[in-house]
Structure 1
Amino acid sequence: MIGRLSGILLEKNPPQLLVDCNGIGYEVNVPMSTFYNLPGLGEKVVLLTHLTVREDAHLLYGFGNAEERDVFRQLIKITGVGARTALAILSGMSAADLAQAVTLQEAGRLTRVPGIGKKTAERLLLELKGKLGADLGAVAGGTQHGATGDILNALLALGYSDKEAALALKQVPADATVSDGIKLALKSLSRA
């Protein structure tokens, strides 16, 4: 498996790149989030990759960071979601946004991605629930202020679902300390 490419960027034709690695040119498909962060032509580029081997082709997909590659790998495991759809999803939203949508079970955010209808969005939320939401839910919470992420993690550790914890967090003021935030969140959960 080819896990990483480091070389000179020769061509940029969205969503495909041509990367020269010591005289060998690799065609790599990338999501637009990676594409927009690429260096100029003739400059050095480093991509984490995923190789798909099919009967009729060997296809290489590149990513700017490990989080995007991990999400891509989770997406292509879902029945009916191919590499092209996975790239479209990662082009339409960041990995953290996708994790947050899964955590909050927001199908509407996924349907904004071209090519994703309501049924596909619901299937994605269902299939990714235990995998992506749990793994990256802390990342999504971690992008908020530190206390909010800690409160979210505490509620999840207490056995509340991602959705319940996220709804309880909406009742907590942004400037609350971790202990006060947990108390307020638990109080709002007990009323529900």
Structure 2
Amino acid sequence: MRYLVFVLTLFLTVTACFAQRSYHEDAIRYFELNGTEQQYDTAIDQMFSLLQQQYSNQNVPDNVWDELQSNKTDAITNIKSLLVSVYRSNFTHEDIKQLIIFYESETGRQLVKDRTQLSDNQKNKLSDFFNSEVGQKVQNQSDSLRSMVSEVSELWSRDLYNETIQKLKTKGYKLP
């Protein structure tokens, strides 16, 4: 009987854990929806374009650039994890869930795609969102959040740049 109770309790606990996504998972989903992930993806591409220009006289082969860029997914995962900490200090798990709901909506998707193309109905829904409790929180914390995100982003990009230059150095390529 004890064994049956133990197994049943374990099963229910594991099921409950899998049914509820963690703060981290939800924040990562939010970053995918609101364009944050794409923004960092583009930033990495721009960094590599800059590096390729800087190293143009070094004749770095394409396979070396491909190898260096193969770490892009890890770099994006890293910045998203850093951003989770920033958001955790500003938003509750319920706030993040509400942000996900908004950005999964037609209005949220259009906002990310092209804000200037919002229909009148979408503009009303956007206004409703910003008048909601979470929308107000987003607006009230935007300056401090922007500052914190900027600081984390700057450190992340500087580390990524320096790490990439170091890898190029170990392969025998140096800045002119």
Output the TM-score relative to the length of structure 2.
0.27
Higher helix share: 2
Output the TM-score relative to the length of structure 1.
0.25
